[in-house]
Amino acid sequence: MATYLILSRISPEAVKDPKNFKDLAEAVSETIKRQCPGVTWKDSYATLGRFDVVDIVEAAQPEEVAKAAMIIRSYGHSSTETLLATPWKDFLSSLGR
């Protein structure tokens, strides 16, 4: 399984009151679990930078991750950027080949 980072910027129109964001997050999570069974959620972080949320997921097929990112976009009125993440030790060992 490959590791991916989904970086999201949430639109101000996604929720009218920040208190309602938890409900939105739960709806997105449930939809992804139901529609993207090949995606395993590892962790999520709220950030204070260019992106609002960083999700770390694993999947065998990149199409599954793309579908999860589209669900995030549609529910959160978000823009996303998805990156394939290679563990540092694996990256370094690949340089010696």
Residue 24's CATH number: 3.30.70.1060
- Percent residues over pLDDT 90 in the chain: 82
pLDDT at 3 over 80: yes
pTM, two decimals, is: 0.90
More confident call, 20 vs 39: 39
| Domain assignment of residue 64, given as a range | 2-95
Res 75: pLDDT: 87
Long-range contacts: 60-64, Cβ < 8 Å, 24+?
60/1, 60/2, 62/2, 62/4, 64/36, 64/38, 64/39
Computed over every residue of the chain, the mean pLDDT equals 94
The first and second tokens of residue 25, run together, are 């997050």
- Give the total number of structural domains in the chain: 1
pLDDT at 95: 93
Token pair of 2 as six digits: 């490959």
Per-residue pLDDT, averaged over 78-90, amounts to 96
